[in-house]
Structure 1
Amino acid sequence: GRNPARETRIPNVALGALQARDVDALALDLSQVREALGRPIRAVLGYSLLAGRVVQFDYAQRRIRFLAAMPPALDAAALPFRDEDEILIDGALVDGHRLVANLDTGSNASLQLTPRAAAALGLDGRLDELPAASSVGINGAATHRRTEVGEFLLGPVAARRVPAVLYAPGSGHDDERWDLRIGNAFLQDYVVTIDYPRRRISLQPAAPGR
């Protein structure tokens, strides 16, 4: 679908102790996201607010922290990323295939694969055999296919039998700069710290019992 947007700028944004000025924004219809979540959604906080900061998503504690710097203990095992208006991480391995990963805290999926990645993994010929999955975004509802990858490796992160969604050709993801998107269903087991100024990201497993 289509969702026309207008470019604008918000003079002041306050989030806890964080104060930001002149934040670039888009004015658009969020009603489909609101209806899918069943709760009022007035704004989506994204790149224009986070870029230039060190932000930590602690899923287990349900806390977002804005830090002065990435803690040294986390930085020691952090991964470099490319900042191209989205986080791109080179060298992710899915069932032995090297892919470019995109970390997206706005996605509620575990892993999502582009048509290009599906072809590299030999899954493109099996799309019709796989069960359907639906999702809702700002442009409306879409139907994809569900599968499972045997092994996923990203730096110190290793996982097996990870659920994944396959985007079909022509669904709007044919020309993405990434092959694999990592969403909240996977990230929820980690404390995710993103150092935008230094372009480093830490994925620290949540402590047992948290």
Structure 2
Amino acid sequence: MNRRCGSAGLHIGARFLLLACLVSGAAPPWRAEAADFLNRARWSLAAGNLEEAERLARKEAALHPGQGQAWSLLGAIALQRGNQPEAEDALEHALRANPEDGEAASLLALLRRRQGRFREAASLLRSLGREAEASQLAAFGTAPPFRQRGPDEIRLSWVGSGWRPVIPALVDGKREADFLVDTGASCVVLDRRLADRIGLAAVGSARLLGAGARSTGGKLCRLPSLRLGGTEVRDIPVAVVDLRRAGKAEETFQGILGSEFLQHFVVTLDYPGRRLCLQKAGTSSPSAAGRLVADVPLRLTPGGLVVVPIEVASRERLLVFLDTGAAETALALSRRAAGRLGLTPLRRGERYFGVGGGYRASPILLRDLRFAGFSARNVPGLIAPFPAQIEEGEGIPLGGFLGSEFCRPFRVTIDFPRMRLLLALPERET
């Protein structure tokens, strides 16, 4: 089985993704000249025009309500927007029309997983031949995952001196460990040595996609508990890998909190104050402190990447994901996106390390970057290798990612319940 999970690389990040979350066939070569609404909708989605894709798919569904493909596409778009009831309705409609629709079944399994309905997700995954992931979810039995006990709000100071958000936690009530808060990871990741020390039993194996388009082997497990401050979160699906392979030197953290965990909170990363706030979903959201400079809708890919639009190079629009695990990178672009923008490297590629091994990335300079009305000039960036599973296979065309270097001046709030991303400057800079 392939899945994708974390960005714990040296400077760029590992971008751990459990590959099974990537929907097979999500980005086929659609024809722009196709006359029917469905092909035009798919082409619009591949071009990044999500609103037009939804409009055309709805027209196709109205014309041919008994055919499932348009419903499957509408389910995928609703899932990206975080509209779970609408996604459920559309995907169930698609499977009633065509019970053999593997893409709709895969998306519905993902939805069931996000809803915490692991037994139903496991059944769908087995029908798709994804036995390892199914076994991991089935191991939870009837226990609801991600159960929280304690205060609705968690506030923690970062540890260490770097710019990546690393926080302390108590693992399974036995071991203290530091965790990287990483929106470039799809799941919770534990280092192999930590998992061995607490006696975590594997229920399956997986391939995890890491930095530089490389993959690494991992184990799938069920973690009984994780305590952050005064709050305990119980029954967590995790992937176990050797984090020492993330670079030449051993990492300063022993685990990664990816988007599957973070989606249960409103997440605020206060970079100037070096603090993390997790507000339990469903409780009153904290107001943004400081001067708000951006408030934009976000999309969530099947692999859990937080996607937002940016403008570069004379208002050229790109969709990128936020990667808080990328320590010293403001913006990394894929080679395809850099070529489209006419960007050339400033010098020869340099060697970087991440989970899965080493790779080369080339430095660039972007004269202008715009994000939701906020603009920055002379932004240093990189041209980095991006695997096709991320660049094309996530159902949204992704041109790169924003890293922690971009976030450093801001309080960054990822409001998963409302599917919004907010940037605020601290009071002293207003």
* Shorter-normalised TM range: 0.7 to 0.9
Is 2:296 the partner of 1:88?
no
Aligned partners of 2:350, 2:408: CA distance in 1, in Å? 20
Contact 1:20–1:49 (CA under 8 A) maintained in structure 2: no
- Cα distance in 2 for partners of 1:133, 1:189 equals 26
**Residue matched to 1:17:** 230
Report the Cα offset of residue 140 of structure 1.
1.8
* Match among 49, 63, 76 for residue 261 of structure 2: 49
Q: Does 1:69 align with 2:288?
A: no
| DSSP-derived class of the 1:49 partner | helix
Once the two structures are superposed, the pairs formed by residues 112-127 of structure 1 within 5 Å of their partners are 112-123=332-343, 126-127=344-345
What residue number does 1:179 align with? 399
Matched residue, 1:131: 348
Q: Which residue of 1 aligns with 2:244?
A: 31
Residue 336 of structure 2: SS of its match in structure 1? helix
Q: Of the two structures, which has the highest relative contact order with CA contacts closer than 8 Å and spacing of 6 or more?
A: 1
Pairwise CA distance, 1:185: 1.0
The letter of the residue matching 2:405 is A
Which digits, 9 at most, give the CA deviation of each residue in 1:115-154, with x for residues without a partner? 221121012xx45x63323322111221110010010001
Q: Which structure has the highest strand share of the two? A: 1
Find the aligned partners of 1:69 and 1:197 in 2 and give their Cα distance.
Answer: 9
One-letter code aligned to 1:71: S
- Equivalenced residue count is 203
* Greater mean alpha carbon deviation, residues 193-202 or residues 41-50: 41-50
Bigger Cα Rg: 2
Structural RMSD (CA) = 2.5
Q: Which runs of 5+ in 1 are unaligned?
A: none
Shift of 1:33: 2.7
More helix by percentage: 2
Secondary structure at the aligned position of 1:71 is classed as coil
State the 1:78 CA deviation.
1.5
Distance 1:130 1:195, change over 3 A: same
Contact kept? 1:150, 1:160, Cα under 8 Å: yes
After superposing the two structures, state which structure 1 stretch, 39-48 or 51-60, moved more: 39-48
Contact 2:294 2:371 in 1 (8 A): no
Query: Normalised by the size of structure 2, how large is the TM-score?
Result: 0.44
